[in-house]
């Protein structure tokens, strides 16, 4: 019989399988470009540039994301209960208490960010505070603390770096091949050249799909870890039910930070079609609730 522990183990394994496939795609793209252009120097420069930009954004992720969300510190007396919940659950999880922020937005949502547990920040919307009871709020906070404890930001950053590398080198390849094919005329294999071109063009799309799949698996894992932390999966399931019923997007919703939130900040209007699931940063709410409490 499947349990929350089963989901946690399965999703951890699936995430690292996806990361392995991701790395294979990067290596394949590098080989294809090097083979086609017969110029590995371009690839090396592109990889260094992509890693530098993404690691820099990762190092300052907490400050950047908090600024983008227009979040303010939860320092007022009206947030004493919120800070107490965060502190108690942090102690239970064996984590230092993250900095707590408030986003002035009616949509119920929350996110955690930061390069590690010592530099973590957690933000919740005013809509979430106004809509959730104590058990539901604890479920949401536990979910976000699980992202911190599971070091999801590291996985997400690696995924972003790999997407950046694939996209950048593919773009360089297309620009280079448009103006000149380098020394490829000497390669003498038009079929292989055609395969390399098609693969390089499609690689950024494949890389993005893998990144989105990793994001969805991390949400399932954080749900399971959060439920284990509170020992009350019904609280998080009820919170997700309420969040899923809210239709309007956040005022400051951004594609750059959408994957960080507990629910898609663009609202719950999207359908659950195959294509929507494929290109979504979050698994459907109904699937997450079913994983937590089954078909109740």
- Catalytic residue numbers? 144
> Exposed, middle or buried, 118 (CB in 10 Å: 0-12/13-18/19+)?
exposed
Q: How far apart are CA 53 and CA 239, in angstroms?
A: 36
Largest pairwise CA distance in the chain: 73
Question: What's the token pair of residue 72?
Answer: 């303010």
Q: How far apart are CA 238 and CA 127, in angstroms?
A: 15
Angle between helices 40-59 and 61-68 (to 10 degrees): 70
Q: How many Cα atoms within 13 Å fall on the side-chain side of residue 264?
A: 23
In a 3-state reduction of DSSP, which class is residue 184? helix
Question: Residues 121, 68: contact at Cβ < 8 Å?
Answer: no
268: how many CB neighbours lie within 10 A of its CB? 16
């Amino acid at each position: 019989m499947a349990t929350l522990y089963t989901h946690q183990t399965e999703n951890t394994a699936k995430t690292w399988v996806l990361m392995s496939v991701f790395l294979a795609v990067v290596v394949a793209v590098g080989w294809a470009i090097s083979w086609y252009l017969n110029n590995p120097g371009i690839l090396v420069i592109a990889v260094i540039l992509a890693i530098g930009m993404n690691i820099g954004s990762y190092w300052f992720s907490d400050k950047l994301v908090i600024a983008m969300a227009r979040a303010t510190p939860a320092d007022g007396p009206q947030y004493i209960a919120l800070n107490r919940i965060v502190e108690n659950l942090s102690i239970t999880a064996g984590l230092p208490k993250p900095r707590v922020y408030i986003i002035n937005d009616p949509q119920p949502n929350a996110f955690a960010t930061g390069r590690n547990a010592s530099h973590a920040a957690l933000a919740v919307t005013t809509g979430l505070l106004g809509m959730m009871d104590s058990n539901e709020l604890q479920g949401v906070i536990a979910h976000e603390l699980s992202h911190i404890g599971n070091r999801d930001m590291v996985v997400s950053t690696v995924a972003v770096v790999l997407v950046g590398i694939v996209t950048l080198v593919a773009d360089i390849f297309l620009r280079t091949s448009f103006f000149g094919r380098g020394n490829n005329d000497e390669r003498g294999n038009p079929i292989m050249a055609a395969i390399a071109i098609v693969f390089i063009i499609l690689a950024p799309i494949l890389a993005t799909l893998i990144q989105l799949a990793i994001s969805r698996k991390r949400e399932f894992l954080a749900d399971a870890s959060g439920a284990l932390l509170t020992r009350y999966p019904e609280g998080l399931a009820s919170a997700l039910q309420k969040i899923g019923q809210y239709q309007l997007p956040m005022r400051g919703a951004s594609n750059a930070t959408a994957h960080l939130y507990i629910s898609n900040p663009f609202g719950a209007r999207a359908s659950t079609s195959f294509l929507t699931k494929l290109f979504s940063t979050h698994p459907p709410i109904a699937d997450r609730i079913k994983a937590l409490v089954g078909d109740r």
